[in-house]
Amino acid sequence: MFPFGKGRPRKSRPLVETTPRVAQPPSTGVAREEVRVVIEGAPQTLEIVRQARIYGQEAFWICPKCASTRLYLFVLNGEIGCRGRGCLWPSGLSYASRHTRNRAALRARKLRRKLGRLDAFVPLRPQR
């Protein structure tokens, strides 16, 4: 079966950071409209709702599965949905930070990525 002490091999789970998402809808336009998108050869209709704000309008997608307003929709296995409990969350779409045990290593990796090199020196925290 599996080697002793190793356990079952882990499956890689889809992450929010690596999953393609539908671009944010444009903020200007009519209050409610529909957009047709083609995903893996299948046409789908997405609905946009715009709400008035102090500075103008803000646009949201309406999730085709749970009918909630969302800023982002994700494409996973050819279907569009949000991260809500009734949509793509049960299929394992989650954040990378939930699967990292060493938060200090994750933070250092993010800082190195922002600096542009993996071997970049990360300065120590200044003493107060």
> Tell me, what's the pLDDT at 60?
92
> Tell me, what's the pLDDT at 13?
75
Nearest-5° Cα angle at 20, 15 to 24: 115
> Given the structure tokens 């499956």, which residue do they identify?
11
pLDDT in tens, the chain (128 residues): 556 666 666 677 788 888 888 888 887 777 788 888 888 888 989 999 998 888 888 899 999 888 889 888 988 888 888 887 778 777 667 787 777 677 787 788 788 778 776 565 656 677 76
Strand boundaries in 1-128, DSSP class E: 21-22, 32-39, 42-53, 56-62, 69-70, 73-76, 79-81
> Tell me, what's the pLDDT at 122?
59
Question: How is the chain split into domains, by residue range?
Answer: 21-114
What does the block give as tokens for 23?
């671009």
pTM, two decimals, is: 0.66
> Tell me, what's the pLDDT at 1?
57
